[in-house]
């Protein structure tokens, strides 16, 4: 392909990107107007529908952030990968993945509290850490995790992304008319809401697989090898208890000892640690990623003050009379923003971003269109 053909291809691509950015800018401006025109009200007074509230994040359950190991309700990590130029000289950082995970939390003010399910929210949070990692490099500074753990985390983030695709695929095919299949679909969707390797993910998969494993072991019948038979009986005993319970873990440990398979010891250890609720177990399920990466972490922490714009719905699982509402991403109004910035600063930031996208997208489209017309001899 000639240089002229390359220029035409890039101009067409730039024109499409410009149009998309222009459209997104108008959507961003609409969101700014929605937030600016929605008054901030006390939590106790929020109605059903789109609301804007302000308060402190509180809750009993937290997760550990991947880079700094900060106890938080929610973290976001932007993962960039270094791409070397085709000629082998120089390179640039390219976006690889954005990984978000966390738990529900309460936003509280002087008037009350409301549960927040942050799935699908746009996050505008302060940066807690940034580091570069690569195979064989020294330990990154400013973070608690080791180089090896962070490379495993990159693989885990890829699996989390793939799990999200699987969950969306399950949503797209349902609901199913067969009640048994629909129940399995719902169970799988619930499992894939969690990070692969986490306590909830492993426990959920084990709960789903337990009847099949039990049926398979029972159909095998007594084994001729005494150790194999002891292992079979130990697993059958373990499956009589909930996955993650002390009785279940003890039965699985006994089965592993009877089976005597040292090659699987590391995977087994990761499995039992995850079921026991060890926060660092998830990365042991994944091999370390290869390449050079830059990771940037953002955290929503207990006690932090946040502005939340989202849809108020009825809480399906209230714990008391003051826990009747929940903030989520709405079905009709999809704007859902969690920000650590004060209200006025947030509105100014949204307005500037919208203007930049509108005018920047328009300028890019016009310039690229001019290049295309010139190549066609129409200008």
In which band, very low, low, confident or very high, does the pLDDT at 261 lie, cut at 50, 70 and 90?
low
Q: What is the pLDDT of residues 353-365, one digit of tens each?
A: 878 888 888 888 8
**Whole-model pTM?**
0.73
Q: What is the mean pLDDT of residues 207-220?
A: 81
- The per-type count for the chain, helices as H runs and strands as E runs, is 8, 13
Q: What is the mean pLDDT of residues 298-309?
A: 94
Is residue 267 pLDDT above 70, yes or no? no
Q: What is the pLDDT of residues 46-101, one digit of tens each?
A: 999 999 999 999 999 999 999 999 999 999 999 999 998 877 778 889 999 999 99
Residues 6+ apart with CB under 8 A from 2: none
Radius of gyration of the chain (CA): 25
In which band, very low, low, confident or very high, does the pLDDT at 222 lie, cut at 50, 70 and 90?
confident
Q: Regarding predicted confidence, which is higher, 25 or 118?
A: 118
Report the C-alpha gap between 170 and 192 in whole angstroms.
10
In which band, very low, low, confident or very high, does the pLDDT at 144 lie, cut at 50, 70 and 90?
confident
DSSP 95-161: EEEEEEEE--EEEEETTEEEEE--TT-EEE--EEEEEEEETTPPPPTT-SS-HHHHHHHHHHHHHHH
- Identify the helix (H) or strand (E) that includes residue 93: strand 91-102
Question: What are the φ and ψ backbone dihedral angles of 102, each rounded to 5 degrees?
Answer: 170, -165
Q: What is the mean pLDDT of residues 283-296?
A: 82
Is residue 17 pLDDT above 80, yes or no? yes
């Amino acid at each position: 392909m000639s240089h002229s053909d390359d220029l035409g291809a890039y101009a067409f691509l730039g024109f499409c990107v410009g149009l998309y950015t222009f459209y997104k800018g108008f959507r961003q401006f609409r969101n700014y107007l929605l937030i600016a025109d929605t008054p901030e009200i006390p939590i106790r007074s929020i109605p059903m529908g789109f609301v804007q509230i302000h308060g402190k994040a509180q809750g009993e359950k937290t997760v550990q952030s991947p880079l700094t190991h900060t106890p938080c309700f929610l973290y976001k990590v932007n993962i960039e990968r270094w791409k070397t130029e085709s000629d082998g000289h120089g390179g640039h950082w390219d976006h690889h993945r954005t990984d978000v995970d966390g738990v529900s939390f309460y936003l509280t003010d002087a008037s009350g509290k409301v549960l927040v399910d942050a799935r699908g929210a746009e996050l505008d949070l302060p940066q807690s850490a940034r580091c570069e990692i690569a195979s064989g490099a020294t330990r990154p500074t400013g973070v608690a995790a080791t180089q090896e753990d962070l490379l495993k985390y990159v693989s885990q983030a890829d699996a989390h992304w793939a799990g999200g695709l699987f969950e969306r695929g399950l949503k797209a095919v349902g609901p199913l008319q067969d009640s048994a299949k629909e129940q399995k679909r719902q169970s799988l969707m619930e499992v894939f809401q969690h990070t692969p390797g986490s306590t909830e993910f492993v426990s959920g998969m084990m709960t789903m697989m337990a009847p099949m494993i039990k049926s398979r072991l029972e159909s095998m019948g007594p084994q001729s090898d005494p150790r194999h038979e002891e292992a079979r009986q130990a697993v059958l005993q373990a499956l009589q208890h909930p996955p993650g319970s002390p009785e279940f873990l003890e039965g699985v440990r006994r089965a592993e000892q009877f089976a005597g398979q040292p090659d699987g010891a590391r995977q087994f250890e990761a499995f039992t640690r995850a079921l026991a609720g060890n926060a660092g177990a998830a990365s042991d399920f994944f091999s370390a990623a290869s390449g050079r990466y830059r990771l940037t972490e953002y955290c929503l922490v207990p006690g932090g003050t946040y502005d939340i714009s989202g849809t108020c719905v009825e809480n399906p699982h209230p714990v008391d009379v003051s826990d009747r509402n929940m903030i989520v991403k709405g079905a009709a109004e999809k704007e859902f923003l969690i920000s650590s910035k004060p209200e006025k600063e947030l509105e100014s930031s949204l307005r500037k971003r919208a203007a930049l996208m509108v005018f920047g997208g328009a300028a890019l489209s016009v310039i690229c269109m001019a290049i295309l017309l010139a190549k066609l001899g129409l200008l």
